[in-house]
Amino acid sequence: MNTKEKILNHIREFGPIQPKEIFSSFDIGEQMLYRHLKNLLQEGLLEKIGSSPKVFYKTKPQYVKPSGAILVKEVADIIEGNFYHITPSGEELIGKFGFVSWCMERGFDVQKKSQEFFKIISKYKKIRKNDLINATTKLRKVFKSGADKLYYYDFYSLEVFGKTKMGQKLLYAKQSENKRLMKEISEQIKPALVKLIKRESVGAVAYVPPTVPRKLQFMKVLEKNLNILLPQVKIIKVSSKIRVPQKTLRKIADRIENANKTFVVEKGSDFNNVLLIDDAVGSGASINQIAQKMKERGIAKKVIGFAVTGSLNDFDVISEV
C-alpha cells in the first residue's frame, strides 16, 4: 500500500480530519502531504469542508449502481445536467451520482424515479426558447399595465421534485450568503441575458433592490458579476417605521401596495427599452409596479422584466427567497 492509499484509509477511519492531524500520523513532508490531498480531491475520493483555517478532509461517497437500475443515455444526460439537491447538512448532490444517492436515501426505485424526472424536465424544456421561459402571458392575466414582457431563466420549483437546480442555488446563495453560488448563477444566466438585451434593443438596465437586510446582498453581487455595460436606472427601496419584506405578504393585493409605497425610481434619462432584473418572481408585483413607475416618470417607453427564477403557476407567492 503506497502513502496516498494509507492517507486515504486514515481519513476514512478518522475523518473529518484536519491536515495537521494527518501530518502528525505520517513521516512525510508537509508539501508532499498537500500534494497527496490535492490528488485525492481531483480523483473524487476526498472532499474538503470548511474554510481556512478550519479546513477538514473526509472521504467522498462513491457511486454505487443499484441493482437493476440501468439508465439509458437520454435519461442519464437529463439527470446529469439538471439534478441538484442540497442536503440538510449542506452537501451538494449533483447529477447521476446525486440522483441515485437521493433516491436510495428515500427508498425510491431509481429506474421509476429517473423516468419521472426525465418526463417532467423534458416537458418544461419544450417551452424554453433562446434559453428563457416567456412568462408574459401569465403577467397579463394578473396585471393590465406595467411591464410589457416578462422572462424567467428557470422555474423556481416543479411538481414532484420541488425546487429546480436554479431554485435551490438561488435559495441557498441568498440565505447562506454564499459567494460561490452567486457567481455560478451569474455565469449561467449571463449568455441568455446578453442575447435578450440584443433581441429587445435594450438601452438601459435596472435592478430590483433587495427587501431583506443582509450583509452580502445577492442582487448587488449579481449586478457586479453580470457587468452589463449599459446606463442604469436607479431604484431605491425605502422603509417605513416598520420594514415589511415582500416575501412575508401572502396576498397579491398586499404585495402591490407594498411595491407601490416602498420602491422609488430616480428620475434620469429617457430610454425606449429598459431591462428590469430581479432574483425571483412570485406574484410579479415588484417588477410590474416598478415598471409602471418608470413609465409614469417618462424613463421608459417599454420595460422588459427578467427574473432568475419564477413561479410555475399563475403567480404563486414565493416566500422563501
Every domain of the chain and the residues it spans: 3-59, 73-125, 129-310
Q: Say whether 129-310 and 3-59 share the same fold.
A: no
* pLDDT, position 250: 67
Say whether pLDDT at 68 is over 70. no
Please state which CATH class domain 129-310 belongs to. alpha beta
Nearest to 203 by CA among 271, 107, 104: 271
Give CA torsion, residues 257, 143, 318, 313, to 10 deg: 160
Confidence of residue 260 (pLDDT cuts 50, 70, 90): confident
d(CA 293, CA 60): 52
DSSP string for residues in 249-266: --SHHHHHHHHHHHEEEP
pLDDT digits (tens, 9 = 90+) for 101-137: 899 889 999 999 999 999 999 999 999 999 999 999 9
* pLDDT, position 43: 85
Say whether pLDDT at 70 is over 60. no
d(CA 284, CA 120): 24
Over residues 186-196, mean pLDDT: 97
Spatial contact of 14 and 56, defined as CB atoms under 8 Å apart: no
Nearest to 289 by CA among 275, 279, 303: 303
Confidence of residue 230 (pLDDT cuts 50, 70, 90): very high
d(CA 215, CA 217): 6
Length of the chain: 321
d(CA 140, CA 228): 28
Confidence of residue 65 (pLDDT cuts 50, 70, 90): low
* pLDDT, position 223: 97
* pLDDT, position 317: 61
Confidence of residue 316 (pLDDT cuts 50, 70, 90): low
Please state which CATH class domain 3-59 belongs to. mainly alpha
